[in-house]
């Protein structure tokens, strides 16, 4: 189905290749997972499959890519559209109409399909992705995850032979991600559709795929059955910034401690079977401590906060909340639960319909966004909302000048080095990869060192090394007396780093407490390791274990 021979590609004015000597064969009906560090060439490879490279992005292309016998360099993207369906990393780049039905119908209308066929495919696409209830909604009213589902439905309606998805679950809650991935798996299993999936968070998808391809610096460094690749090339993948699933990390840690375990479990069920033998008979398990430290004086307070984008549909319903200085708080919940709506009040981007919000004692209704920005830094869900300058370094410098800093040059250099952006300092920000753009957005805000830092899905598109670095940086930032608030669907990250979790549902606080209280023994919002150990209750194993490191600590006792 897909043949790639000695593929190389340089973006315009780039001296380093985005892709370098790639040779791959992907057969009919294969389900392939492509992973690697941010900037390793994953998205570039995906763009080659439908002709966006070289027809749209330009640059220098070498080698040959054929899909179903068609050379992509000789056939424009519009000719490839019925063979290769592409779902982009950022759904905003793919949505072109006003409402859901028109968006799904748009591609079919451009292919001049009969009206009856369009209606039939529209219904199928809505049901397949599970968004029939959204069919009349305006796109601008949807959450990021809902927009991602609409983008997938619009591609499926064209009935392509190959489906290419660039991090399709990055903005979805755990249940939404499972639903989308189950849909993709069904398309692969039952319809024989070839699927190429680009993803960082392997624990979500690795058990579904036939094959794992790992890229680094534009080259293929690993290719094979997922379990074999993860087991045999563990150290190499870690060095390449690949996010190793928690179960694999735990098994590797056991092996390093001389525990006789073999294999690479890819599912919770496989993990239980393998690890039960290890933990059977261990007695005297230590109690698991509370992750939440003491909080300082309140820095953010809400009283009976209500907000409605359009009356009478309230996005927030009577929120009472106090966040103290020095806390590391994760705000979680399903898509459209009100997470982003809530934190936008903390910077004054939204004003309460009812109730009050105070930041450092300032009533946000009586305070401008510019004044609040001296206290609160906000990193948007979509990094493109931060990008408007001609170069990366100017992007950061403009923000600092606007806030009145005098040592702009020093701060720009420091923050670019912190986030490994120095090589891209003079590049146009919007030409960077999704993960690189996310780092630029973070750099523009963190350069000012605000007292309160709010990040909306900050790890989307980030490789494991940069995610770990960012989290360590945020923990140090919190230790310095600052407050960190993260809106995220990344359960594994929250389990390892957050102190407090606020779980929202339909505009209300469902639960607010220590991360162990919220994440352990949950059905959806629980990390992979916790789900494994839920099956060991009869052994007396603590049910609050959240991470591989905590599971390894049990062996010391």
* Residue 212 pLDDT class (50, 70, 90 cuts): very high
Burial class (CB in 10 A: 0-12, 13-18, 19+), 525: buried
Is residue 155 pLDDT above 60, yes or no?
yes
Confidence of residue 335 (pLDDT cuts 50, 70, 90): confident
What are the DSSP calls for 358-416, one per residue? Answer: EETTEEGGGS-HHHHTTTEEEE-SSGGGG--SSSHHHHHHHHHHHTT-S-HHHHHHHHH
Has residue 144 got a pLDDT over 70?
Answer: no
CA–CA dist 148, 170 (Å, integer):
9
The CB density around residue 516, as the number of other CB atoms within 10 Å, is 22
Please spell the DSSP secondary structure of 475-527, one letter per residue.
HHHHHTT-EEEEE---HHHHHHH-SEEEEEETTEEEEEEEHHHHHTT-SSSS-
Task: Report whether 372 contacts 419 (CB < 8 A).
Answer: no
Judge if 202 and 116 occupy the same domain: yes
* CATH code, 35: 3.40.50.300
Q: What pLDDT is recorded for position 541?
A: 77
* DSSP per-residue string spanning 327-356: -EEEEEESTTSSHHHHHHGGGTSS--SEEE
pLDDT-derived band at 271 (thresholds 50, 70, 90) equals very high
pLDDT of 260: 85
125 in the same domain as 56: yes
User: 422, 449, 476 — which closes off a domain?
Assistant: 449
Q: Give the separation between CA 457 and CA 202, rounded to whole angstroms.
A: 17
According to the model, what pLDDT value does residue 518 have?
92
321: which strand partners? Answer: 302
Secondary structure of residue 253 in the 3-state scheme: helix
pTM of the model: 0.84
291, pLDDT greater than 60: no
Name the domain count of the chain.
3
Rg of the chain (C-alpha set): 24
Domain containing residue 256: 246-280+542-556
Residue 442 parent element (H or E): helix 434-446
pLDDT higher than 80, residue 66: yes
pLDDT of the residue at 555: 75
Residue 222 inside a domain? The answer is yes
Residues 409 and 261 in one domain: no
Task: Report how far residue 318's alpha carbon sits from residue 300's, in angstroms, rounded to the nearest whole number.
Answer: 16
Residue 172 shares a structural domain with residue 221: yes
Give the pLDDT confidence score for residue 288 in this predicted structure: 63
In a domain, 499, yes or no: no
Domain shared by 57 and 177, yes or no: yes
Note whether residue 336 is domain-resident: no
Burial class (CB in 10 A: 0-12, 13-18, 19+), 276: middle
Domain membership of residue 128 (yes or no) is yes
- What's the pLDDT score for residue 407? 85
Distances (CA, A) of 530 to 271, 493, 536: 11, 13, 10
Residues 401 and 547 in one domain: no
Q: Write out pLDDT tens, residues 110-139.
A: 888 999 999 999 999 998 888 899 999 999
Residues 6+ positions from 69 with CB-CB distance below 8 Å: none
Same domain, 56 and 185: yes
354-359/362-363 β-pairing: antiparallel
Count other Cβ atoms within 10 Å, centred on residue 430.
12
Residue 367 within a domain: no
Q: Is pLDDT of 418 > 90?
A: no
H-state helical runs in 35-173: 42-48, 52-55, 77-80, 100-110, 115-129, 144-156
Residues 266 and 414 in one domain: no
Q: Please name the residue ranges forming H helices in 96-233.
A: 100-110, 115-129, 144-156, 174-191, 202-205, 226-232
Please check whether residues 139 and 267 belong to one and the same domain.
no
Segment 415-426 mean pLDDT: 89
Sign (positive or negative) of CA dihedral 343, 349, 350, 355: positive
Cis peptide before 494 (omega within 30 of 0): no
**DSSP secondary structure code for residue 90 in this structure:** S
CA dist., res. 218 & res. 10, Å (int): 10
Could you give phi then psi for residue 493, rounded to 5 degrees?
Answer: -65, -45
In a domain, 483, yes or no: no
b/e sequence 227-239, b meaning 16+ C-beta within 10 Å: bebbbebbeebee
Specify the pLDDT at position 287: 59
Measured CA to CA, the distance from residue 164 to residue 120 in angstroms comes to: 23
- Is the same domain home to 45 and 140? yes
| Residue 430 domain flag | yes
Domain end, chosen from 397, 415, 449, is at 449
167 and 95 in a common domain: yes
Same domain, residue pair 12 and 57: yes
What are the phi and psi torsion angles at 283 (to 5°)? -120, 170
Residue 537 included in any domain: no
Calculate what percentage of the chain has a pLDDT beyond 70: 96
Residue-level pLDDT at 39: 82
- Tell which of 208, 239, 270 closes a domain: 239
């Amino acid at each position: 189905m897909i043949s790639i021979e000695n593929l190389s590609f340089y973006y315009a004015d780039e001296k380093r290749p985005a892709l370098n000597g790639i040779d791959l064969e992907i057969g009919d009906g294969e389900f392939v997972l492509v992973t690697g560090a941010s900037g390793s060439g994953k998205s570039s490879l995906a763009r080659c499959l439908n002709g966006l490279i070289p027809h749209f992005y330009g640059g220098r292309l070498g080698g040959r890519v054929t899909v179903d016998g068609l050379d992509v360099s000789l056939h424009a993207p519009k000719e490839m559209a019925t063979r290769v369906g592409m779902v982009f990393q950022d759904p905003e780049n793919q949505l072109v109409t006003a409402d859901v039905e028109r968006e799904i119908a748009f591609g079919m209308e451009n292919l001049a399909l009969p009206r009856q066929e369009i209606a039939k495919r529209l219904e199928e696409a809505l049901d397949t992705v599970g968004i029939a209830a959204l069919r009349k909604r305006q796109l601008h009213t949807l959450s990021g995850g809902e927009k991602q589902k609409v983008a997938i439905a619009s591609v499926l309606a064209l009935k392509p032979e190959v489906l290419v998805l660039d991090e399709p679950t990055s903005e979805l809650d755990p249940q939404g991600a499972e639903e989308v991935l189950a849909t993709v798996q069904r398309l692969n299993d039952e319809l024989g559709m070839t699927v190429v999936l680009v993803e960082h968070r392997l624990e979500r998808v690795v058990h579904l795929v036939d094959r794992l391809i790992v890229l680094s610096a534009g080259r293929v460094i690993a290719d094979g059955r997922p379990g074999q690749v993860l087991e045999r090339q563990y150290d190499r993948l870690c060095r390449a910034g690949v996010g190793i699933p928690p179960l694999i990390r735990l098994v590797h840690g056991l092996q390093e401690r001389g525990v006789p375990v073999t294999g690479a479990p890819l599912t919770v069920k496989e993990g239980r079977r393998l690890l039960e033998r290890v933990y059977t008979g261990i007695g005297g398990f230590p109690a698991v401590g509370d992750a939440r430290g003491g909080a300082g004086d309140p820095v953010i307070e809400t009283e009976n906060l209500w907000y409605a984008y359009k009356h009478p549909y309230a996005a927030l319903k009577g929120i009472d909340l106090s966040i103290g200085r020095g806390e590391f708080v994760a705000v979680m919940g399903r898509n459209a639960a009100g997470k982003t709506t809530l934190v936008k009040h903390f910077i004054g981007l939204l004003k309460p319909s009812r109730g009050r919000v105070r930041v450092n004692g300032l009533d946000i209704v009586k305070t401008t966004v510019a004044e609040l920005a001296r206290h609160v830094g906000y990193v948007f869900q979509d990094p493109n909302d931060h990008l408007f300058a001609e170069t990366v370094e100017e992007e950061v410098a403009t923000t600092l000048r606007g806030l009145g800093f005098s040592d702009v040059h020093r701060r720009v250099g420091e923050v670019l080095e912190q986030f490994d952006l120095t090589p891209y300092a003079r590049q146009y920000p919007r030409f960077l990869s999704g993960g690189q753009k996310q780092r630029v957005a973070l750099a523009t805000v963190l350069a000012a060192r605000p007292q309160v830092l709010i990040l909306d899905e900050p790890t989307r598109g980030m490789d494991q090394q940069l995610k770990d670095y960012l989290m360590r940086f945020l923990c140090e930032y919190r230790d310095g007396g600052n407050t960190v608030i993260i809106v995220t669907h990344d359960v594994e990250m929250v389990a390892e780093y957050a102190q407090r979790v606020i779980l929202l549902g339909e505009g209300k606080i469902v639960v607010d407490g220590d991360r162990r209280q919220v994440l352990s023994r949950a059905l959806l919002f629980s990390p992979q390791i916790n789900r494994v150990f839920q099956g060991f209750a009869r052994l007396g194993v603590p049910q609050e274990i959240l991470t591989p490191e905590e599971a390894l600590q049990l062996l010391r006792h």
